Structure 1
Amino acid sequence: MAKQPQQGQIIPVLFVALIILIIVVMWIWKRLSAESQDYIVDQAVPMTIIGLISTLLLFIPIRMLRRRQLRSRERTRLLALFHRETSQEKRLDLVFALLENNEYHINGLESVAPALKELLATTLQRALGDKQHRIRGMAASHLGALQDLSAVPLLVKTLDDDHAYVRACAALGLGRLRATEARERLKAAMEHDWDQTVRSRAREALERMRS
């Protein structure tokens, strides 16, 4: 089986190709008439630049619109699965997928927000033990995306979790909520928690509240 060319081999080839292209362009340029050179400099190049900028300005909003449409379709699909699913474990996975697809915003999920909050809060309280720390952490961080301030006391309590990952996610959730009532507790975590990630997440949460 032939080996794939490695990146270290491709870069010199591209560099040589670029040098050759420059030489060819200069060779052609020198053989153009003065009138052709003036036309290229005065008209062709500006028109090409304007065309490229116009294309880029059109491409960006079109791409953003396309991305929103794809995200909306995926949200609709995940919501349908969430409503049909009966397994709590699979429903929780769908909650994570919904909020991640929605870029951690509540827009478009208002109708199911109470159900999402109940499932996340229940998971955060019942997924006990070191082996389930990642589930607790994800529940805490995603709970903050629901913009429901009634979750603040639970997230503040989670700042005392035995696992640093969970505490960091709780700080992230409080930052997403911009829960100013948790400011003092976050300051304490930022200054005294032994884990660097927890301290960083607490600082980021406090910065969100100031923005």
Structure 2
Amino acid sequence: MKNAPSSHLTNQRGQANVTMALALIILIVGGIWIWNHLDFDTQDFIVDEVVPILFLVVALTLITWVNVRKVKRAKNKKNRRDGLLKQFSNEKAPRKRFDLASQLIELNEFQLEGLERVAADMAEVFLYTFKRSLGDKQHRFRGMAASYLGVVQHRESIPLLIKALEDDHAYVRGCAALALGRMRATEAKTKLEYTMKEDWDQTVRSRSREAVERMS
């Protein structure tokens, strides 16, 4: 009995789709019939005068729609970012602050712009997480923290990230290389050149190579 409402809704949607399909077919057939019964002068006028105007109207409508969607997305993104920034500033628990900072980084598409005023606080959270996330089970957090240090351009952490290129976990090494590349840390170039040739993990080698290329 519980499935009855759901089945009823499904049937209604199916009927609506069939009705729309029939209406579309009728419109197409009707349009063809009307076109075939127009005189040649009227057809020429429609083709030469009306159709170009319709295309222009459609194009302008699409451009406007796309721009409006972009503006709305940007506004929604800013509102979400502002909300997360407020939560981050008010939060005291280290792990929750890390989660909020991670969300901010990802929402901001791994760009620093718009996060400058909390960059130092975020770097502090990432450093804390990196140093405290020890052991095999914590390597994902360690790697994420390393990567995000590059996003916030925390150059004081460069020596720590260079050392992280020797981490037991390839994920951490790759994230460290990514962070060093983001900061264009030329002091890490020699180590990265070694890693891009000698590390056993392909991802680490690739990210090290990309980091070196960013410094060129």
Q: Give TM-score, length-normalised by structure 1.
A: 0.81
Aligned to 1:9: none
Question: Residues 80 and 195 from structure 1, CA distance in 2 versus in 1: closer, same or farther, beyond 3 angstroms?
Answer: same
Question: Residues 209 and 65 from structure 1, CA distance in 2 versus in 1: closer, same or farther, beyond 3 angstroms?
Answer: farther
Superimposed CA distance per residue, residues 108-155 of structure 1 (whole angstroms, 9 cap, x where no aligned partner): 222221111111112112211010011011101111111232222222
* Code of the aligned partner of 2:109: E
**1:176 aligned onto 2:182:** yes
**1:98 aligned onto 2:104:** yes
Structural RMSD (CA): 2.8
Higher Rg of the two aligned structures = 2
Aligned to 1:80: 86
2:35 & 2:209 partners in 1: Cα distance? 58
1:208 & 1:28 partners in 2: Cα distance? 63
**1:194 aligned onto 2:191:** no
Which residue of the other structure, out of 31, 34, 58, is the alignment partner of 2:37?
31
Deviation of 1:161 after TM superposition, in Å, equals 0.8
**1:205 aligned onto 2:211:** yes
**Larger deviation: 24-33 or 197-206?**
24-33
Aligned to 1:162: 168
**1:124 aligned onto 2:144:** no
Q: Give TM-score, length-normalised by structure 2.
A: 0.79
SS of equivalent to 1:104: coil
Superimposed CA distance per residue, residues 71-118 of structure 1 (whole angstroms, 9 cap, x where no aligned partner): 221121112111221211111101101111122222222222111111
SS of equivalent to 1:32: coil
1:178 & 1:55 partners in 2: Cα distance? 43
The percentage of aligned residue pairs carrying the same residue is 49
Which residue of the other structure, out of 36, 43, 50, is the alignment partner of 1:44?
50
Q: Which runs of 5+ in 1 are unaligned?
A: 5-12
Question: Residues 184 and 27 from structure 1, CA distance in 2 versus in 1: closer, same or farther, beyond 3 angstroms?
Answer: farther
Deviation of 1:50 after TM superposition, in Å, equals 1.5
Aligned to 1:143: 149
1:173 & 1:105 partners in 2: Cα distance? 12
